[in-house]
Amino acid sequence: MDRHLLPSEIDLLLDGEVGFGTSPLKTHIRKCPACRGELDEARATVRALEHLPHLAPSPLFAERVLSRVNIFVPWHVAALDTLRGLVPSSRGGRIAFGVAGGSVAAVMSLLVLWIALRFDAVVFAVGILADRVRANILDAVGTLLAGALGDSAYTLVRTSGLLGLTVLTLALVAAALLAATLLRTFAVNRRR
Amino acid sequence: MSFDLANLPDADVVALAQQGREPAYRELLRRYERPVFSLIFRMVRDRETAEDLSQETFIKVLNHIDRYRPEFKLSSWLFKIANNVAIDHLRKRTVETISIDGSPHAATRAEIEATSFDVESRGESALEEVESRELGSSIERAIARLRPEYRSCIMLRHVEGRSYEEIAALLDLPLGTVKTYIHRARKELRDALEHLRT
């Protein structure tokens, strides 16, 4: 190489680049005092930069930042934490907790297993329960209707079956609409 | 539940912070408060402003920690925001201030000396004295005279040890521009420090 190094070539050496391209540059540096001086100066500057210390903010910096940060706990983490909070910290307590939890889990498993094995009995029991609930609801509605419309109207609705129930429902809806319209008209007239 | 947070990599500490663990937030602050503050302090050269801007940086990052993607370095995200808030501040600063090192528009050494303050004669407070000592070395003074873009590039390269590619990514600059900025910054620093070698 019969010339001095270019600034970009000095930068390559400064950044510690390796490869075939840098070997003639290194050879030149060994021979040329001017370029070596240039590189040494650049290295001294870089060393000074690399020795710059990290400066510290004031001691309360972290507290000030955290006071303005919204720390969000996702629901699943909160749930897990709650569960963990229920587990006793002492070894004996943890064993007792484990035994109690295991017992509850075993009873629940047996119950589920029993239900699965006696499915027909469960269906039968649910059917009886549903019938009783329906009968109670019908009784309550019947008492309400008899009180509002009288026994004869209630008997008529009851004997006419689904048609009677539909007519009654429509009549109630029509009465409600009529009442609402009359109230509205009354309110508008009073405002005038 | 206890974690040895100091030995965990950033990504794991962030994962704990995403679960709402306050000690993880504290650990991230402990790791990065100095590098971030140093970068911003050297950019704006005012301790109070640097604290405010560093605080803004951390609040932005920690309040959006759920958006962090582990394929990127947390430090790069932090430095990117720190650099942006510092550059924004320098751009917004309408009232021109003259540093103890002279006007930023002073081009020659004579102009710098003519516009410089004598620190001793200012009757400065204890805090200001500490600040001027902190940033008072020749290299710090030379950094202060660099253009802000050069300043952030050279500090990320040589103080934080980032690669050219990382700097380009976090400053949103083309790689060639980063190389040019660093080359020019090194040259300006070398020229500024030349008098110390003669």
Question: Where in chain A are the domains?
Answer: 7-50
Most confident by average pLDDT, B9-13, B96-100, B114-118: B9-13
* Residues of B in Cβ contact (< 8 Å) with A7: 183, 187
CA dist., res. B118 & res. B130, Å (int):
15
Select from A11, A41, A56 the Cβ nearest to the Cβ of B34.
A56
- Chain A: residue whose CA lies nearest to B45: A55
Domain membership of residue B139 (yes or no) is no
Of B139 and B37, which is predicted with more confidence?
A: B37
What are the beta bridge partners of residue B102?
B99
Domain membership of residue B114 (yes or no) is no
Helical axes B175-192 vs B164-171, angle rounded to 10° = 110
Substitution target in B58, B165, B167 with the highest count of A β-carbons within 10 Å is B58
CA dist., res. A35 & res. A28, Å (int):
8
Provide the mean pLDDT of chain A.
87
Are B83 and B61 a contacting pair, CB within 8 Å?
no
Residues comprising chain B, all counted:
198
Are A69 and B62 a contacting pair, CB within 8 Å?
yes
- Chain A: residue whose CA lies nearest to B24: A71
What are the beta bridge partners of residue B99?
B102
Q: pLDDT tens digits, residue range A108-150?
A: 999 999 888 888 888 899 999 999 998 898 888 788 878 877 8
Q: What is the DSSP string of A102-155?
A: HHHHHHHHHHHHHHHHTHHHHHHHHHHHHHHHHHHHHHHHHHHHHHHH-HHHHH
CA dist., res. B127 & res. B143, Å (int):
21
CA dist., res. A59 & res. B8, Å (int):
24
Alpha-carbon torsion A23, A27, A30, A36, what sign? Answer: negative
* Residues of A in Cβ contact (< 8 Å) with B81: none
Percent of chain B clearing pLDDT 70 (strictly above) = 75
Are A6 and A39 a contacting pair, CB within 8 Å?
no
| Residue A180: partners with Cβ closer than 8 Å, 6 or more residues away | none
Q: pLDDT tens digits, residue range A156-174?
A: 777 777 787 788 889 889 9
CA dist A142 → A134, A137, A138, A166, A185 (Å): 12, 9, 6, 15, 34
CA dist., res. B51 & res. A149, Å (int):
80
Complex ipTM: 0.75
From B105's Cα to the closest Cα of chain A, the distance in A is 24
Q: What angle do CA A16, A11, B181 make, to 5 degrees?
A: 125
Domain membership of residue B181 (yes or no) is no
Using the predicted structure, report yes or no on whether residue A71 has a pLDDT greater than 70.
yes
Q: What angle do CA B48, B53, B54 make, to 5 degrees?
A: 95
Mean pLDDT score, B95-116: 49
Binding-site residues on chain B for chain A (CB distance < 8 A): 1, 18-20, 22, 25-26, 29-30, 33-35, 37-38, 41-42, 50-51, 54-55, 58-59, 62-63, 66, 134, 139-140, 154-155, 158-159, 161, 179, 182-183, 186-187, 189-190, 193-194, 197
Domain membership of residue B115 (yes or no) is no
Quote the radius of gyration of chain A (alpha carbons, Å).
45
Question: pTM here?
Answer: 0.65
**Do A52 and B159 count as a contact with CB atoms less than 8 A apart?**
yes
Please state the domain count of chain B: 1
CA dist., res. B182 & res. B164, Å (int):
9
Substitution target in A60, A66, A69, A72 with the highest count of B β-carbons within 10 Å is A69
For residue B1, the model assigns a pLDDT of 52
Q: Supply φ then ψ for residue A118, to 5 degrees.
A: -110, 50
Buried-state track A151-176, b at ≥16 Cβ within 10 A, e below 16: eeebeebeeeeeeeeeebeeeeeeee
Are A46 and B26 a contacting pair, CB within 8 Å?
no
From B132's Cα to the closest Cα of chain A, the distance in A is 13
Q: Which domain holds residue B74?
A: 1-95
Domain membership of residue B195 (yes or no) is no
Domain membership of residue B136 (yes or no) is no
CA dist., res. B101 & res. B113, Å (int):
8
Are A53 and B160 a contacting pair, CB within 8 Å?
no
Domain at B26, CATH number:
1.10.1740.10
Domain membership of residue B187 (yes or no) is no
From A135's Cα to the closest Cα of chain B, the distance in A is 52
Select from B33, B179, B193 the Cβ nearest to the Cβ of A62.
B33
